[in-house]
Chains A and B, each alone.
Chain A
Amino acid sequence: MSELNDPVTEEHKASLNFKWLLLMAWRDSRRNRSRLFLFISSIILGIAALVAIYSFEYNLRNDIDSQAKSLLGADLIIETNKTVKQESLPMLKSLGTERSEERTFASMIYFQKNGGTRLVNVRALSGDFPYYGDIETTPKTASRSFRLGKQALVDKTLMLQYDAKPGDSIKVGEVIFQIAGVLNKAPGQTGFNAAVAPIVYIPLSYLEETGLSQKGSRITYNFYYKFPPETNVNKLAKRLEPQLEKAELDYETVESRKENTGRSFEDMTEFLALVGFIALLLGCIGVASAIHIYIREKINTIAVLRCLGTSSRQAFLIYLIQIAGIGLIGSLIGAILGTLIQQFLPIVLKDFLPVEITVAISWMAVGQGLLLGLIISILFALLPLVSVRNISPLNTLRLSLEETSLFKDPIKWLVYFIIVLFIFGFTYLQMGSIKKTVLFTAGVLAGFIILAALAYAMMWLARRYFPSSWSYLWRQGFANLFRPNNQTLILVVSIGLGTAFICTLFFVQDILINRVTRSSSKNQPNMVLFDIQSNQKQAVADLTKSLNLPVLQEVPIVNMRMTEIKGRNAASYKKDSVAWGAMRGLEREYRVTYRDSLSDSEELIDGKWIGRAEPGKPVYVSLEEGYAKRIGVKIGDELTFNVQGAPLKVLVGSTRKVDWNRIQTNFILIFPTGVLEDAPQFHVLLTQVPSNELSAKYQQAVVRTFPNISMIDLGLVLSVLDEILNKMGFVIRFMAAFSIITGLIVLIASVLISKYQRIRESVLLRTMGASRKQILAITALEYFFLGALAAGAGIVLALIASWGLARFVFETTFSPELVPVLILFLLITSLTVLIGLFNSRGVLNRPPLEVLRSEV
């Protein structure tokens, strides 16, 4: 034993150790570098996606900081959606060195030239707003010149849609405005906003004349202020807060807008980063599987090294160094690619961005990408790598591959645990919420586990019910699914996940569109008229009927605010941090109707429905059950309302369940008849218009006769929804592409690995006289079965996920369209077969001996 522990030898060992390990890792990789690179290439896109998103996020944050003033256009905005109280006016007129005023509301506009009508967001503006940035128009001068006369700026999509040109006229309310220019972008506006509510600017001085600012109209009042540069606007706003609160005015400063904008983009980048992370995880599965097979092929080399005196730790480290090196190279390529892809993100996301994005290399993002790539490639390669420790030198004498089972090797459990911990940690860093993180991690794990379980089940079934009566070629191809060194698990998981991703996306889009189109079916209302004044009610109904259109529903609406819940006001709830639901209930405005019976979309849950209030007796109202819970009230509790100046105490008489999916007027709060009849109110009318032509005619007639009435055409809602979904879908598809391409790379890598696995067998078959055609058929069949199983498993997963989403999130029924799914299934299966055959062509075209010599 004395010679064994020779101190000189020990010292030598320590000094050579790392250098020699590096050297051996380098030498050992010599003939495998392209393969190792192929393995690691599956993480490149995941890293690229994350680096691109991180870079984008950092740049966006900088840009929001530098452009925050032009986002707001002013130093301070004071806003309210109630008529400004007289006593607040002196204060509002005393602030700032420059002031502008704006009133915004929804209204119909009418294009004089072609009779087109459209619901828009009208902004009546006075003063020189914006003080920072600009209202972007064509021609440029229009942004200032429209304020000088009866002129308007019209959103560019509207101009295109209605074929309008500067110089044409539009009618807003009772006034005809000349279009001064095309509105390209209002301060802080995104393409997304523009699709939902296109903007039309008019000078504030003509608002009165339009007749659209009557009492009861839902107008938002904005006051814009500019202060001298040295003013601390935040401090000033804080000081004004109690006064503003009392006057029921809200405010926004550059700082608070910056925070809000940043926060909403955090959500978006967080979502995108998670999509990228899924692509990375998918790639990691590919890495783990490829390294597993790589190590299998290295058993002999490792055994020889062990024979020559390499310790198990040294052998393990040689391969760990290889993986780390190649992981670092992969991450570096990913980071470079990500930095390049980042250039395209502003284009992809342009409809959602309120600021101009500068594209710059973010070293922080590159660093994060490199670190993440290194950690994740090592972590996932550890699973197969730990078995290197157990490879016996005895393998040099006879190959006795004893797989250590998971249960026997606690290190493997530890690695699994660390992987889950890593996923959890990474997600937590993105989301910052334990609940969301647990849900995401559980979701990802469940996805992987379900697919793996499906793969195992398929292998078991294929073995259990093996079709012995099939011809040899079919049997051989089929048996490859479960034979040793099969690729079933990895391909089902990787291709399956990619398929599930695309498929779920498709289903969700379908669910959303269906939910709206379902309501547009026959006999369902598809046109909503609102803002009908009481004195117009009869005339509008008559006009509707004169065009042979049915009046399906006519509902009165009264605006009010809740001032007390169970005798406590907002100030009292503010001190109570638990009662945020009640607080929110006291902050909002309610649109309330009154009627004597329940509608067919409502169902009484608790209490007693009282349809008519008796004079002198308490008034009983009905609340939607979920809302009652949120604000924390039960049957018999007291609520106090301010009905446009008049206080009104009521009791909760009943709670109702409401089917919100129906296109009809639904309400959180319903009053009985006999209370609100004399309150200021407007009316809503629902009708069903059978054709687009009639719809246009009807809209024109209504807008011409009753310019204050707004109309929502369900066809328009559908097309807007479609546009929004398309815009979001494009972003999601762009990100999903990373997962899909990663899936393809994993597929190519897996197929290439299986080529090494199958090569001896194919050559042997060829030696025994199998024709090229027969080998081709066996290979094609194997990949056909694999592709079909994987795509099928992915579709099953997507069906489960979409059903869950439909049932629990969108609360609708799920009836998937099967033709596109079938097409996707065939596409993925054929792609698998094609890649399989393409990669195997080397074995098919060359003589057996040449293949054996060069490849084995």
Chain B
Amino acid sequence: MDIILNIQNLSKTYQSGGRTLTVLDDISFAIEAGSTMSIVGPSGSGKTTLLGLCAGLDRSTSGIVELNHIRLDNLNEDQRAQVRNQHVGFIFQNFQLLPTLTALENVMVPLELRGEKNIRPRALELLDKVGLADRGHHYPTQLSGGEQQRVSLARAFSNSPKILFADEPTGNLDAETSEKVVKLIFDLNKEAGTTLILVTHDLDLASKTQRIIRIKGGSLVSDVKTKIENPERPDHVGA
């Protein structure tokens, strides 16, 4: 099996008021390409920090992060940005759409950054997939929370990422909207054959992934497989 994310002996410490604060302590795991996994744990356990390190948003104090066979801990910030643009998709709890860009433009940005041509039809197609084909010219403030998260999903899949990181994707949504968004995430993920890593409090949501790792006090306390099958990989990605 192809390993898309390999974490070895990962630690992260901060200096605070002259004291060393260990947020993550010697964490190791590996994820197969195309699988789904949740990181769960109580508030302050270090799960968001772990997500940040895995996605190359931050640098570890020690240990190895290998994403799609690229050692992130050896790269500088701009090189990591390039890795993110080429291989990573993000979904955030607070959607993080660019407020001055329309829904369509938000979806187009990762593709524009890659210098791809003729991207409008692809962005429109993705918006259509999330059910917002007619809202492309709206600004984020003109959309509801659920709609914003759907635009965010379309954006996350626009660069056909190898791995998708989702930080509490339903944290800001009501139950009904959450359900729809979760379904959309898993459907799109399955269709594109993307690896999905979820950070969540919600054990129901976590149980929808194939594997759950639990973090407590910065340490990995459990790593269990659920009964969910590995989704089949389609022939082409993201379409």
Contact call A309/B96, Cβ cutoff below 8 A: no
Give the interface segment out of B31-39, B111-119, B129-137, B224-232: B111-119
Contacts of B87 in A (CB 8 A): 3
Q: Give the number of residues in A that approach B within 8 Å (Cβ atoms).
A: 36
Pick from B57, B68, B82, B85: contact of A392, CB under 8 Å: B57
Contact call A29/B100, Cβ cutoff below 8 A: yes
Contact call A396/B57, Cβ cutoff below 8 A: yes
SS of A interface (majority) = helix
Separation of A305 and B82 alpha carbons in the complex (Å): 12
B205 at the interface (CB under 8 A from A): no
Separation of A304 and B94 alpha carbons in the complex (Å): 11
Report which residue of A11, A12, A23, A393 has the largest number of chain B beta carbons within 10 angstroms of its beta carbon.
A393
SS of B interface (majority) = helix
B147 at the interface (CB under 8 A from A): no
A397 at the interface (CB under 8 A from B): yes
Residue of B nearest to A30 (CB): B100
For the complex formed, measure the closest distance between the CB of A314 and the CB atoms of chain B, giving whole angstroms.
8
Contact call B82/A309, Cβ cutoff below 8 A: yes
Contact call B109/A12, Cβ cutoff below 8 A: no
Contact call B100/A396, Cβ cutoff below 8 A: no
Contacts of A301 in B (CB 8 A): 98-100
For the complex formed, measure the closest distance between the CB of A833 and the CB atoms of chain B, giving whole angstroms.
33
Residue of B nearest to A313 (CB): B78
Separation of A30 and B139 alpha carbons in the complex (Å): 11
Contact call A27/B58, Cβ cutoff below 8 A: no
Separation of A30 and B100 alpha carbons in the complex (Å): 6
A193 at the interface (CB under 8 A from B): no
Contact call A394/B57, Cβ cutoff below 8 A: yes
Residue of B nearest to A8 (CB): B115
Contact call B96/A16, Cβ cutoff below 8 A: no
Separation of A20 and B116 alpha carbons in the complex (Å): 11
Separation of A305 and B77 alpha carbons in the complex (Å): 13
Contacts of A93 in B (CB 8 A): none
Contacts of A3 in B (CB 8 A): 68, 70, 86-87
Contact call B96/A300, Cβ cutoff below 8 A: yes
B239 at the interface (CB under 8 A from A): no
For the complex formed, measure the closest distance between the CB of B166 and the CB atoms of chain A, giving whole angstroms.
12
A205 at the interface (CB under 8 A from B): no
Contacts of A397 in B (CB 8 A): 48, 51-52, 57, 92, 167
Report which residue of A28, A307, A309, A392 has the largest number of chain B beta carbons within 10 angstroms of its beta carbon.
A309
Contact call B84/A309, Cβ cutoff below 8 A: yes
For the complex formed, measure the closest distance between the CB of B198 and the CB atoms of chain A, giving whole angstroms.
14
Contact call B100/A27, Cβ cutoff below 8 A: yes
The A293-322 residues at the B interface (CB cut-off 8 A) are: 300-301, 304-313
Q: A3-B68, A396-B90, A398-B48 are in contact. Are A309 and B100 (CB under 8 A)?
A: no
Q: Which residues of B contact A (CB under 8 A)?
A: 48, 51-52, 57-58, 68, 70, 77-79, 81-87, 90, 92, 96-101, 105, 109-110, 112-116, 141, 155, 159, 167
Other than A31-B100, A309-B82, A310-B81, give 10 A-B pairs with Cβ distance below 8 A.
A20-B112, A23-B112, A30-B101, A308-B109, A309-B159, A310-B85, A312-B78, A396-B90, A396-B92, A397-B48
Q: Which residues of A contact B (CB under 8 A)?
A: 1, 3-4, 9, 11-13, 15-16, 20, 23, 27-32, 300-301, 304-313, 392-394, 396-398, 853
22 residue pairs of the A-B complex, CB under 8 angstroms, read: A3-B70, A4-B79, A4-B83, A9-B86, A16-B115, A20-B113, A27-B101, A32-B100, A301-B98, A306-B77, A307-B96, A309-B81, A309-B84, A309-B85, A309-B110, A309-B114, A311-B81, A311-B82, A392-B57, A394-B57, A394-B58, A397-B51
